[in-house]
A and B are shown apart, each in its own frame.
Chain A
Amino acid sequence: MKPTGSDGDFERWLERELRRTVGSVQGPSPRAAQATYRAASRSGGKSLTIRSGIFGKGAAGLAAVMLTVGGGSAVAMAATGSANPMELGQRVSDIVQGCKDTIRDQVKDTPANAHAASAARTNRGIGQCVSSQVSKNRQGEAQQQANGVKDADERKSASPSMSPGTVHGQGNGSGSVGAPGQSGAGHGNSGDHRPTPSPHTPSPHP
């Protein structure tokens, strides 16, 4: 601990002390799955994609339509048939895109109509279109739910002694009023991707 010379000694001492100091405060190896950026990407990154996808000029009224028709997210869920926010966003995006296409097709059918062309450029009328799609979906959803309940009741009355799990899908259909097959909709996105952390050995090589 008593080296000779000045600059070289000091540099060596400095390196040793820095490593010793840092070594005494190092924590456990980090896991990417727990990092802030991962949380941000899970919550913000995907919603950013959806936002940029659906909130075009003409589609900005969609949120208003959803809220006006009544009840915010509950209505949105009913309209799109999904409780999964990611799927919900995707379906909303599909509805808006479908309406845009419909308006564009209408212009193609009447090429001489300048008013229609202008409407297509600005996506005029998309609000009505989206609104009607939402209504249609809600009606369809209600019908499906009613059928699902009816089917379940019929199955129940047809075979009252059947033990649970002997018929595929029965557990899903009888436990909730959701449409058949709907219960699995969110499963694809529910898995939390956690990469196995690679062993890290910080090895400074001055």
Chain B
Amino acid sequence: MQPEQDQPRYRPGSIEDFDRLYEATYDRLFATLILLLRDRAAAEDCVQDAFLSAFKAWPRWQPDAPAEVWLHRIAINVALSHRRRERLREVGQVVRRMGVQPHSDPTESPAHELVRELRALPPKNAAALVLRHLHGYSNREIAHALGVPERTIASRLAAARAKLQIRLADLRETDSGTLPWRRVPSDK
């Protein structure tokens, strides 16, 4: 995330400024959502939905946090709603196919274990990891984007990182026995 003084100024309600904001932040929002959601199409849809919601609320936007953080908050909420609906659909599919072997999802990218394990984390923890390690958000910005108290962010991040590390290490050891990082003791 850019330092506050370097961030572009936006005027609430200005369509030109919202266009600028869209073009400046689309890629980063899309990156966040593609890591949280199942596929590219879903991420694109959710980003567009998020921008639509943000556009409706744009006249009331208050610059108490960077505009991108505000957009991330909307986008993550849209993504979480999408995931809930997706889960319900999956449950329905499981019930319908009872005993039939499930087909693999052709839209899913070749099993990328990091993304898969990231999606297996609680959604807000996964989002916190993405915001920190992909976008470089501070604890305060992550708290704002997730709508949770700032004091919980450090512990969420630590817990999410440890869980991810352990799960990936288990996978790596099972597959090839090599790890690009040193294994964390499991009691940590």
Chain A: residues with CB nearer than 8 A to chain B? Answer: 1-7, 9-11, 13-15, 17-19, 21-22, 25-27, 29-32, 35-38, 40-41, 195, 197-198, 200, 202, 204-206
Contact with A along B146-188 (1 / 0, CB 8 A): 0000000000000001001100000000000000111110000
Which of A5, A32, A37 has the most C-beta atoms of chain B within 10 angstroms of its own C-beta? A37
* Neighbour of B114 across the interface among A18, A197, A198, CB < 8 A: A18
B30 interfacial contact with A, CB 8 Å: yes
Q: Is the CB of A204 within 8 A of B134?
A: yes
Chain A residues with Cβ under 8 A from B22's Cβ? 30, 32, 35, 37
Q: Is the CB of A10 within 8 A of B184?
A: yes
Q: Is the CB of B28 within 8 A of A18?
A: no
> What's the dominant secondary structure at chain B's contact region?
helix
Give the residue name and chain of the B residue nearest to A26 (CB).
Answer: B27
Give the residue name and chain of the A residue nearest to B8 (CB).
Answer: A198
Contact with A along B28-64 (1 / 0, CB 8 A): 1011001100001000000011011011000000000
Given A10-B161, A21-B115, A30-B23, also A202-B15 (CB < 8 A) = no
A19→B133 CA distance, assembly (Å) = 9
Q: Is the CB of A202 within 8 A of B184?
A: no
**What's the least CB distance linking B2 to chain A, in Å?**
7
Q: Is the CB of B182 within 8 A of A6?
A: yes
Known: A14-B129, A37-B55. 15 other contacts (CB 8 A): A6-B181, A9-B182, A10-B161, A11-B161, A13-B180, A18-B35, A21-B115, A22-B34, A22-B35, A37-B18, A41-B55, A195-B16, A197-B23, A204-B28, A205-B136
A2→B182 CA distance, assembly (Å) = 9
- Counting contact residues on chain B (CB < 8 A from A), the size range is 35 or more
**What's the least CB distance linking A4 to chain B, in Å?**
7
Contact with A along B72-107 (1 / 0, CB 8 A): 000000000000000000000000000000000000
Chain A residues with Cβ under 8 A from B54's Cβ? 37
Chain A residues with Cβ under 8 A from B182's Cβ? 3-6, 9
Chain B residues with Cβ under 8 A from A26's Cβ? 27, 30-31
Q: Is the CB of A21 within 8 A of B35?
A: yes
**What's the least CB distance linking A25 to chain B, in Å?**
6
A36→B78 CA distance, assembly (Å) = 15
Chain B residues with Cβ under 8 A from A27's Cβ? 30
B24 interfacial contact with A, CB 8 Å: yes
Give the residue name and chain of the B residue nearest to A37 (CB).
Answer: B55
Q: Is the CB of B31 within 8 A of A40?
A: no
A-B contact count (CB 8 A): 113
* Neighbour of A21 across the interface among B28, B112, B135, CB < 8 A: B112
**What's the least CB distance linking A128 to chain B, in Å?**
38
* Neighbour of A37 across the interface among B2, B40, B51, B132, CB < 8 A: B51
Q: Which 9 A-B pairs have the closest CB atoms?
A: A206-B136, A32-B19, A37-B55, A30-B26, A9-B181, A22-B31, A36-B48, A10-B181, A6-B182
Give the residue name and chain of the B residue nearest to A23 (CB).
Answer: B31
Q: Is the CB of A11 within 8 A of B34?
A: no
Chain B residues with Cβ under 8 A from A32's Cβ? 18-20, 22-23
A18→B109 CA distance, assembly (Å) = 14
**What's the least CB distance linking A100 to chain B, in Å?**
27
Given A13-B180, A21-B114, also A206-B24 (CB < 8 A) = no
* Neighbour of B23 across the interface among A15, A21, A200, CB < 8 A: A200
A26→B29 CA distance, assembly (Å) = 11
Q: Is the CB of B52 within 8 A of A19?
A: no
Chain B residues with Cβ under 8 A from A4's Cβ? 182
Give the residue name and chain of the A residue nearest to B22 (CB).
Answer: A32
